[in-house]
Amino acid sequence: MIETIKYTEYDWFLWLNGHHNQFFDILMYWVTYRFTWIPLYIYIIYYLFQNTKNRFAINLVFVLLSVGLSDRFTSGFMKPFFHRFRPCHDPAIQNLVHVVGDCGGQFGFASSHASNSFALVMAIYLLAKLNNWSLKLPAFLLFWAIIVSYSRIYVGVHFPTDIVVGAIVGIMITLFTYIFLKFINQKLNFSFT
């Protein structure tokens, strides 16, 4: 059963990774490059400041804590624990993988890019819902997170399950962070949301 799932994922990954061309190689390289998105992160900080001036600091802490914990959990715990090769390092298929840029570390389960992106989406979504903001920014960020996550498959460094599990981890950690901060807020009354 496990072997069947493994080979099915190999097929799924190779199909997704195998549809490439020179234009998308360049595009996906920049989509997956973490520093490409600094202007977006600056805009999000500005947006938070403009919309939550009196709660800006705690809301920014919420967003940063959600993303930081998601990154730490996937990179610091999951990858060393599961020891699942990235596709570009997997001896069974590495010669078939289309790699764009650097292959990265040896292990890839779960994707930190997906975890971090979806943690950010969930944090902004929760803040938008709680403060009756427009949902345009969370909707854009969801589209962005999906594209960034897919880019990790395209460049050859993550399997689809790395992405799906990473996204779930990011969402769950953000929800737990929100619940924790709400609990602390009730005890200390520091105006979270």
Extents of the domains making up the chain:
41-188
Q: Which of 44-58, 63-77, 176-190 has the lowest mean pLDDT?
A: 176-190
What is the enclosing helix (H) or strand (E) of 193? none
d(CA 107, CA 167): 17
Averaged pLDDT of the chain: 93
- Residues of the chain with pLDDT > 70: what percent? 95
* Residue range 99-117, pLDDT digits in tens: 999 999 999 999 999 999 9
CB atoms within 10 A of CB 47: 15
Q: Which of residues 91 and 191 earns the better pLDDT score? A: 91
Q: Where is 76: in which H helix or E strand?
A: none
Sign of the torsion angle spanned by Cα atoms 54, 59, 60, 61: positive
pLDDT in tens, 10-31: 999 999 999 999 999 999 999 9
- Report the pLDDT value the prediction gives residue 186, as an integer from 0 to 100: 79
Give the pLDDT of residue 183: 87
145-170 confidence digits (pLDDT tens) = 999 999 999 999 999 999 999 999 99
User: What's the chain's Rg over C-alpha atoms?
Assistant: 18
Residue 178: pLDDT band with limits 50, 70, 90: very high
The pTM of this model reads 0.93
Q: Which two tokens stand for residue 22?
A: 């020179």
Mean pLDDT comparison of 5-19, 46-60, 78-92, 178-192, highest-scoring range: 78-92
Query: Is it the case that residue 122 has pLDDT exceeding 80?
Result: yes
Q: Is the pLDDT of residue 193 over 60?
A: no
In percent, the amount of the chain with pLDDT more than 90 equals 81
Q: Provide mean pLDDT across the span 39-56.
A: 92
